[in-house]
Structure 1
């Protein structure tokens, strides 16, 4: 095992450990994994913690994050925690696979996310947002469940753009299924921490299992129908059907195609919807910011309907969405497991160590952001962004495994905000904002009702 680096500075192989009660950590993880983060990681660059006899490394320093996730990407794998939590639904898809299997799958779908392809998809995004807006206008002023509305809208977009239509998939059942699957993930993380057998029952396990079966069977029927009646549509389904490993020449099985469709449907529409949910709540609580967004939309459109040409011009609206994802990152934690020993700063990280990049803590870190709890879209002006380290802000992850759909998600979110806010405003009902709770993604702790106000 190496003990020194090139400049002859000795690497540290013992770590300054922050003790964590195993029982306390388990309880926190079940309730809300954010509460299990060591409080010091909101102020310190890195923290070593020992829980259930295992050392975990928490990284909040952008330089160390870059060193781990980019420079040492080949030394890290997704690890057992991710497999236990997401594997039953996502199998060995793009989000959960490692190594060569991950690489060829990513290459297979990369074409769906080229800039020119995304530009082609903008009208579809706008049309989906218009359907939501028209439904709201027909119902008039009243209370809406913004969570349900955004999940429905982004699901509509992901199905239309990636699967060329819903093929009879029931939107309501899919939304319920994803929630049923994610709700008990705190239990899977907690049981994984103590290496409990995977067959151990826990609250919500039965519902989660049934939800996964429903979701996967629904997508399998789409694949079977497409195989029976092939066509030349240039969508994600056909890309996956025609994909082949450049080294072995093998194609994807139906199960592997379902793995990837599940990944894009759950991760793709869920995270964007959550970013929008938090954005609408923040706008409702910051009228001065909302006024600037409305003014920008009105100035660019001059009262006419939003078009694809308008979306890139909505600079401030995009800043607002970016800041909302800083305050409430939809994917709040990244975990990796060291596949081999590697150097991280002045430390030697042994194989098997779990590394945690708590994006939520990075986005609220006292040394990285001035007044981190303040909602300030000005942080994302071009000047401010240039002055900031690339890995101080990472709502879509980092390194080779950065979210392949990040540009799609931002384009989609800005289009939805523009179409809806051109005609309506949303007002908060509760005096205090909801508490963020991690269920793999960062969700409000309760249904978020908002009052619809026509403009």
Structure 2
């Protein structure tokens, strides 16, 4: 075990504070090219890069990218240590800060401990049963209308579902149609997500980071105006109205700028991660028609089949839990293509893992995608098998081997909304169409920052 120098006593209060160069000398790894480190290697093939580093150096290694050193901790035990964080060692705010600080400051992922707990409790009102029941009605209406409009034939699923999730967010989250600003809002979210992993971290003219920062400014103005309007007009069942009127334990309303930041972040998370995960599920069901048929039969058994008009019936809020196979298939898709492939933190205290002492101030992270494909947890990990998620199999597996929604205090606040939206999508889509990959060809996936098929996922919908 290495002996650490006195720098371990430093207090790291902001992610921009750096460890001395010798602080991680005892951790195996590599720094890559001068100046840029391994940044471009990681961006070119993040999963292959992580697998090579893990195979070479083991479950703890260091890597230089995006201007600094990071320590990767690989495995279900690492996931549990960092996400459960019983000793408050790991700062999510300082972990995500270098990536998201200019774009999504003060979102739930970028605040820690007591502040995070207070805001999360205030915002959780938007995910209570009555608001969720309201969202389910809006989702059924919006998804049924759009899926019918898609019609039979060839389509690119990713841009279609991305547009749909944005419209659904407008209805369920905002409670009104976007109107003429919809294209600007959509582009702002795209620019902000892409800016999160651009190698140039300053918002210089004509850079992706400048586009992302400008997108944030546009959305801050939009949500600020809307927050004041919601407070003046009173509450509503949509998520934004719930946030705008949310109070902390002392009864005080959340400050307007914090409501705006939370809304901005949660809209991005819901818009982009649900788009990614719904796309991966459709891709895998198109590849495995036998599972597509199993889900179709389950859905029709739960909803009662077509209504008097011959169209699929709505999926009732009370029936969401009955779609067990559908949920298992979705969980397997989330294992196969987790929408957040890796997760950063920063150590606020020295800690031990994998035979190493990792010092306070170190940027650390887990690799969700890699653990989701480790053979020690998953037989034949590159095969699609929803039966991995039967209650018996889940109970027998390490609790933190599957963490697409994170875990611990920072577990995704909207995970039940994601399950609901995807189940309703399947309930409206599968009874209408058989889904096939256009030409039988698998797409190439862009793995970062949020996975998506480069060709938009070309599929064919065939009427049943």
TM-score (norm 1): 0.86
Aligned to 1:10: none
Q: 1:157 & 1:313 partners in 2: Cα distance?
A: 23
Once the two structures are TM-superposed, the CA of residue 159 in structure 1 deviates from its matched residue by: 2.7
Q: 1:322 & 1:292 partners in 2: Cα distance?
A: 15
Correspondent of 1:204 among 198, 203, 208:
208
With over 3 angstroms needed to count, the CA separation of the structure-2 counterparts of 1:442 and 1:73, relative to structure 1, is farther
Q: 2:374 & 2:405 partners in 1: Cα distance?
A: 17
> Per-residue displacement from partner, 1:219-269 (whole Å, max 9, x unpaired)?
223223224x4223244333333344446x754333221111111111012
Correspondent of 2:105 among 68, 78, 91:
91
Once the two structures are TM-superposed, the CA of residue 410 in structure 1 deviates from its matched residue by: 0.9
Aligned to 1:341: 350
> Per-residue displacement from partner, 1:163-192 (whole Å, max 9, x unpaired)?
2223637444333322222224332xx456
With over 3 angstroms needed to count, the CA separation of the structure-2 counterparts of 1:262 and 1:33, relative to structure 1, is farther
Once the two structures are TM-superposed, the CA of residue 351 in structure 1 deviates from its matched residue by: 0.6
With over 3 angstroms needed to count, the CA separation of the structure-2 counterparts of 1:299 and 1:159, relative to structure 1, is same
Aligned to 2:61: 48
Q: Would you say 1:292 and 2:294 are equivalent positions? A: yes
Other structure's SS at 2:186 match: helix
Correspondent of 1:105 among 91, 111, 119:
119
Aligned to 2:392: 383
Correspondent of 1:424 among 422, 433, 447:
433
Unaligned runs of at least 5 residues, structure 2 = 5-23, 308-312
Other structure's SS at 2:424 match: helix
> Per-residue displacement from partner, 1:337-378 (whole Å, max 9, x unpaired)?
101212335432211112211111111112211111111111
Aligned to 1:323: 332
RMSD of Structure 2 on Structure 1 (CA): 2.9
> Per-residue displacement from partner, 1:272-331 (whole Å, max 9, x unpaired)?
121111111111111222121222223332333133144322111111111111100011
Other structure's SS at 1:417 match: helix
Give matches, 1:246-285, under 5 Å. 246=249, 251-285=253-287
Q: 1:73 & 1:268 partners in 2: Cα distance?
A: 30
Q: How many residues are aligned here?
A: 435
> Per-residue displacement from partner, 1:371-427 (whole Å, max 9, x unpaired)?
111111111122211111110001100111110111111121111111111112232
Once the two structures are TM-superposed, the CA of residue 132 in structure 1 deviates from its matched residue by: 1.3
Once the two structures are TM-superposed, the CA of residue 108 in structure 1 deviates from its matched residue by: 0.8
